[in-house]
């Protein structure tokens, strides 16, 4: 799979947060459109938040989650990937310290 966004989504669905963040970061770096870049950065931060949470770093998770929510809000309205980023950020924020949403 060569598309970094598709790869990132597949890795996130498998709860492979670190690898997913790497794939989304690859997509973000290659993207020229500002709204799409913000969406991809939101997904990067969401995956990093989940990885921090998995490792027990609540402070790091909260900081990354705040970044994910801010970037997700910048994504274009109606863009399905931006909607995914917003839903992930909201689900992570709503989850308790022992629960993680499955993308």
Pure H helices in the chain: 4-13, 17-30, 34-54, 58-74, 80-94
- CATH number of the domain encompassing residue 88: 1.10.3450.10
Domain interval for residue 42:
4-94
Q: Count up the domains in the chain and report the number.
A: 1
User: Looking at the domain assignment, is residue 59 inside a domain?
Assistant: yes
Model pTM score: 0.86
The pLDDT value recorded for residue 102 is 43
Tokens of 47: 């995956």
Residue 96 burial (C-beta neighbours within 10 Å; 0-12, 13-18, 19+): exposed
| Digit-coded pLDDT (tens) for 47-75 | 999 899 888 888 898 899 889 989 989 98
Regions of the chain with pLDDT less than 70: 1, 96-103
Considering the chain, what is the average pLDDT of its residues? 87
Alpha helices (H) along 2-33? 4-13, 17-30
Q: What is the pLDDT of residue 33?
A: 93
């Amino acid at each position: 799979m060569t598309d970094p966004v598709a790869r990132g989504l597949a890795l996130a669905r498998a709860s492979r947060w670190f690898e997913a963040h790497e794939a989304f970061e690859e997509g973000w770096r290659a993207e020229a459109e500002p709204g799409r870049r913000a969406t991809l950065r939101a997904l990067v931060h969401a995956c990093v938040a989940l990885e921090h949470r998995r490792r027990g770093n609540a402070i790091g998770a909260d900081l990354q989650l705040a970044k994910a929510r801010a970037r997700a809000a910048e994504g274009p309205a109606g863009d399905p990937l931006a909607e995914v980023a917003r839903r992930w950020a909201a689900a992570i924020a709503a989850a308790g310290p022992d629960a993680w949403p499955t993308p």
